[in-house]
Homo-oligomer: A and B are copies of this chain.
Amino acid sequence: MSVITIERKVLEKNDTLAAQNRELFSGHRLFVVNMVSSPGSGKTSLLERTIEHLGSKKRLAVIEGDVQTDYDAQRLARYHIPVVQIVTNGGCHLEANLVKNALTNFDLKSVDLLIIENVGNLVCPANYDLGETMKVVLMSTTEGDDKPLKYPAMFRNSGALVINKVDLLPYVNCHLEDLKQNALQINPSLKIFETSCTTRAGISQWCDWLAQKVPVHP
């Protein structure tokens, strides 16, 4: 019995299902974000601001991943966009088959941009492809500027980094330039945004970039 081999088989099976998801997304010309971060970095808050900003311009849908509770889906319910909650019951990351099952709840023909909010975990979700177009990693300034170096896989596998809670910079031991430099050292092609979901700083830059990523539907 080799645990490594089993893990590889689990990942291979996941990759096969992720490829099926990706094909489905591509067929519907969907842009799909897999949003990853530690607990409490502000994923759901960024989603709220994003829906407020883009909701009238693009047809959004959300898959919420949580270890327990459907609180995040409840928070988004007031925006009247399609939201499906996945509760992993202790599972530390979303997998492609969970997303595949969740997709049956959407009318994908009526969606331009699907955002999957992963479980709050800066380690495990890095290894599980969901079929997304791009991983976006979020981190809060309160987590400290050394985190890209200490948790490199997530930053290496992401296309964009959103540095959230910049309004707290005066009060925390986090140097923005060091943080960005550390992130770019791990992944020089990371597109970096600086946001505050409280003051709304940087939200329009993030949303404008996201909007131009979404294919124009005929």
CB distance from A13 to the nearest CB of B (A): 9
Known: A140-B142, A172-B168. A150 touches B38 (CB 8 A): no
Q: Which residues of B contact A9 (CB under 8 A)?
A: 1
Q: A108 an interface residue at 8 Å Cβ cutoff?
A: no
Q: A132 an interface residue at 8 Å Cβ cutoff?
A: no
Interface contact B71-A140, CB-CB below 8 Å: no
Docked complex Cα distance between A146 and B75 (Å): 12
Q: A143 an interface residue at 8 Å Cβ cutoff?
A: yes
Docked complex Cα distance between A121 and B124 (Å): 9
Known: A168-B142, A168-B172, A171-B168. A38 touches B120 (CB 8 A): yes
A10 closest partner in B (C-beta)? B3
Q: A39 an interface residue at 8 Å Cβ cutoff?
A: yes
Q: Which residues of B contact A10 (CB under 8 A)?
A: 3
20 A-B pairs whose Cβ atoms sit less than 8 Å apart in the complex: A1-B9, A3-B10, A38-B40, A38-B122, A40-B139, A40-B140, A40-B143, A66-B150, A67-B152, A67-B153, A69-B150, A92-B121, A92-B123, A92-B124, A120-B151, A121-B122, A140-B142, A142-B142, A168-B168, A168-B172
